[in-house]
């Protein structure tokens, strides 16, 4: 029981750190946008800091989301499908192949199309 409480507290602390980090990123992006607009001088490294911070924030908040069972679920398409179709694993293989060939063709064609893979 002690380890579960400790795990919950660590997850909450990490979630708070991630929230503060995300809030501070908003000010960094604002400062970069304002310096680009008014001073014609962007803040160097803002893009790299934001890219890497988003990954860290996701991992910091994942523990709390799992422990509190508050994962985001998007089931717009899944709710429209009948239960019989959901239970058939063959349908998942068809979808997986579809996504694979989409990504494969995208990489073969190059950067002429918008990135989604």
- The string of pLDDT tens digits covering residues 34-59 is 998 888 888 888 888 888 888 888 88
**Domain boundary residue among 37, 56, 72?**
72
More confident residue, 109 or 22: 22
Q: 36: how many CB neighbours lie within 10 A of its CB?
A: 13
Segments of the chain assigned E as strands = none
> For the segment 7-24, what is each residue's pLDDT rounded down to a tens digit?
888 888 888 888 899 999
Same domain membership, residue 114 and residue 88: yes
115 burial class (0-12, 13-18, 19+ CB within 10 angstroms)?
Answer: exposed
- What pTM value is reported for the model? 0.55
Same domain membership, residue 60 and residue 14: yes
Q: What are phi and psi of 37, to 5 degrees?
A: -75, -45
Q: Give how many domains the chain has, as a whole number.
A: 2
Phi-psi region of 69 (alpha: psi -120 to 50; beta: other; left: phi over 0): left
């Amino acid at each position: 029981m002690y380890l579960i409480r400790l795990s919950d507290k660590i997850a909450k602390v990490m979630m708070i750190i991630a929230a503060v980090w995300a809030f501070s990123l908003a000010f960094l992006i604002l400062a970069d946008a304002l310096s680009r607009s008014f001073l014609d001088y962007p803040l160097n490294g803002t893009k790299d800091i934001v890219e890497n911070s988003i990954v860290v924030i996701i991992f910091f908040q994942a523990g709390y989301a799992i422990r509190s069972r508050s994962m985001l679920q998007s089931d717009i398409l899944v709710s429209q499908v009948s239960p019989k179709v959901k239970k058939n694993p063959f349908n998942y293989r068809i979808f997986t192949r579809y996504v694979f060939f989409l990504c494969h063709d995208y990489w073969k064609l190059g950067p002429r199309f918008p990135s989604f893979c």
